[in-house]
């Protein structure tokens, strides 16, 4: 079955693929940010005063939430770069117009 063509001339299926690609790119950026925050957190200069496994668990959850929020907004541009790179592979015709310098 052929997907219906929208007003912009793109298939609805490719729009859904772009949406999925965008979600995957944002998720990757969030995972990257979590790893970066975790690495920064592990570079401590000494023992914590009140260190405990429960405190570490809540700090890890807080760091994960922070990374999700950072990637969910404008982010650092990692998701945007991934979108540009993978859009070229998914649809070379539209990627050529999207990746031209402005």
Residue 71 lies in a domain: yes
Domain for residue 1, yes or no?
no
* Residue 84 in domain: yes
Amino acid 102: pLDDT:
40
pLDDT at 100 over 50: no
For 70, residues 6+ apart whose C-beta sits below 8 A from its C-beta are 30, 33, 76
> What is the per-residue pLDDT for 98?
52
pLDDT of residue 5: 44
54 within domain boundaries: yes
Closest-CA residue to 94 (of 25, 29, 18, 26) = 18
Asked if the structure places residue 59 within a domain, the reply is: yes
Is residue 58 situated within a structural domain? yes
Judged against a pLDDT cut of 70, whether residue 6 lies above it is answered with no
Residue 31 is assigned to a structural domain of this protein: yes
- pLDDT for 59-80, tens place per residue? 888 888 888 888 887 778 888 8
Does 36 score more than 70 pLDDT?
yes
In this model, does residue 22 exceed pLDDT 80?
Answer: yes
Range of the structural domain that residue 83 is part of: 24-39+50-94
Domain count, the chain: 1
Q: Considering the domain boundaries, does residue 18 fall inside one?
A: no
For the question of whether the overall pTM of this predicted structure is more than 0.75, the answer is no
């Amino acid at each position: 079955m052929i997907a219906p063509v929208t007003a912009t001339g793109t298939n609805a299926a490719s729009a859904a693929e772009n949406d999925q690609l965008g979600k995957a790119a944002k998720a990757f950026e969030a995972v990257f940010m979590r790893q970066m925050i975790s690495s920064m957190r592990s570079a401590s200069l000494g023992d914590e005063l009140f260190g405990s496994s429960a405190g570490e668990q809540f700090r890890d959850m807080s760091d994960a939430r922070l990374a999700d929020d950072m990637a969910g907004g404008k982010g650092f541009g990692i998701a945007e770069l991934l979108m540009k790179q993978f859009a070229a592979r998914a649809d070379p015709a539209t990627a050529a117009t999207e990746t031209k310098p402005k």
